[in-house]
Structure 1
Amino acid sequence: MLSYQHAYHAGNAADVHKHFVLAELLRLLTKKDRGVSYLETHAGRGLYDLTSEEAQKTGEAALGIDRVEGLEGTPIGDALEQVRAQHGETAYPGSPLIASSLLREQDKIALMEMHPQEHRALRRAMKGSGAAVHNRDAYEGAKALTPMDPRRGLVLIDPPYELKDEYGRAAKLAMTIHKRWPEAAIMVWYPILDAGRHAELLSGMAEGEPLVSEVSFPPKDGRGMKGSGLAIIGAPYGADEAIARAIALGGRVFRP
């Protein structure tokens, strides 16, 4: 199924959770000169305009990134500053551009996106970045591309969860990559819904003893997603503190 387009949800509360943690982890991984590899399985278009028709239709950024202040000098703040200097003050970077903004010449980026329209937009957004952009199935491509070199790395698995079996598939993919590429941290994002289907994902990742971060926020119109979760296998040293910093930055967005 190729119907999901993140432009309707860019900058929402789940993005604040996912992107703030991602930025903190990337900063953590790049403290040393040694190169790192970044792999993303469901990359989206990489760059969004919060004044676009899609973003305005849902207004989700108003309850997410628009509520956050004091980002100067933080990893996510640095990424936002760099992207907005190039694309304008209403630009919002997806995870591919956050990674590209924070990684260095010695680092590598590989991105996958199957949706034809999203893939074309992603290629435009990443032009000149040096990132390898693949129009291929995430579950096939991630196995084919791993392990990457440099061996130290970070993988983001972020499917749209349009199908019920995606929770189990995402967990299986995470564990497969972990066994193929044990030097990499593998971060899986998942929505928290009343149905509680994310329990299947966490159960499927249990062998990897993931570090789990969950936040809650008011569901839009009283229904739908009520929280955001991240499960990280092979989290780098200092990840606990990095996640705490990320959640503190986005504190106004999340319910205590």
Structure 2
Amino acid sequence: MLSYQHAYHAGNAADVHKHALLAVALDYMGRKPKPMTYMETHAGRALYDLGGPEAAKTGEAAAGIRKMESWFPEDHPYAQALDAARQLGGPEAYPGSPIVAATHLRDTDRLILAEKHPQEVAALRQAISWAEIHAADGPQLALSLTPPEPRRGMMLIDPSYEVKTEWTAIPELVAKVRRKWPVGVILLWYPLLASGAHQPLAERLAAMEGDAVLSEVRFPPARPGHGMVGSGLWAANAPWGWDDAARALEARFAAL
């Protein structure tokens, strides 16, 4: 959706949940010498300024990464991505998922990013010049490029869900991608909403056949009246150890 700007939400509690587990998955996959493909359907701008007016307006980063960064030791894959972002953009920089991915990909790997917003596309190209960046509809691109080459790899599906049809369209996209790319690791993020609007999507994912695990966390609203009260990350063909990492992170959130 062209009106959505993740700069207002970067570094929030949902980003911490999503990006920490994304980093864990990529770190493990990168330990094997075989090359891989990493794809994103909703890439955003890759690098965000937590010192900017957008983050200050919502207070979501203050309730997220500002509070939670101490959970991750320096050698944690997520901490490595945080450090990489600050080397690129200064001490107030925060990595979007493309930077998290780029931190852990190797020269032999392929990075494919889709984004529709022209300003976000321009920022992507500036931050990660070597990536394959498409100013295109992410779901359509995902279907056209799967199975990718190299076939080993991962796809992150991370829409804003501001378009109501995404709640039903995204599970259908996942099902189609899995049929075309059965060996691919697929990570799908969704918000947990006080309204319960996420429930049909979660139920559809739970009914899918095949190897998949789910991580859900809950957290206090970032501000009065904020509707997001948690984060869900569903993983098909999750790498070894991902489930254990998810349970450990869930325990951290449960203690908030």
Normalising by structure 2, we get a TM-score of 0.93
SS at match of 2:31: coil
How many residue pairs get aligned? The number is 251
Distance in structure 2 (CA, Å) of the matches to 1:243 and 1:28: 14
- Residue 142 of structure 1 aligns to which amino acid in structure 2? A
Say if 2:195 and 2:227, in contact at 8 Å, map to a contact too.
no
1:188, CA displacement in angstroms?
A: 0.6
Percent identity between matched residues is: 48
Counterpart position of 1:233: 236
AA matched with 2:237: G
2:199 maps to which residue? 199
Per-residue displacement from partner, 1:102-155 (whole Å, max 9, x unpaired)?
A: 11111111000001221111111112xx21000001121110111111111111
Pairwise CA RMSD: 1.6
1:177 aligned partner: 177
State yes or no: 1:107 paired with 2:109.
Answer: yes
1:15-50 Cα distance to aligned partner (Å, 9 max, x none): 000000100111111111111111000000110010
Which residue matches 1:28? 28
Residue 204 of structure 1, CA deviation: 2.8
Equivalent in the alignment of 1:52: 52
C-alpha distance in 1 between matches for 2:204 and 2:123: 33
What are the equivalent positions in structure 2 for 1:145-184 lying under 5 Å apart? Answer: 145-184=145-184
Q: Secondary structure at the match of 1:226?
A: strand
Distance 2:88 2:140 in 1: 34
Q: Out of 215, 218, 241, which is 1:216 matched to?
A: 218
* Other structure's SS at 2:116 match: coil
Of 78-87 and 178-187, deviating more is 78-87
**What are the within-5 Å matches in structure 2 for residues 87-98 of structure 1?**
87-98=89-100
Shift of 1:63: 0.7
1:245 deviation in Å? 4.3
1:43-91: CA deviation from partner (whole Å, max 9, x where unpaired): 0011001001111111211111011214311101111112212321111
- Give unmatched runs, 5+ long, in structure 2: none
Give the AA of the match of 2:136: R
With normalisation by structure 1, the TM-score equals: 0.93
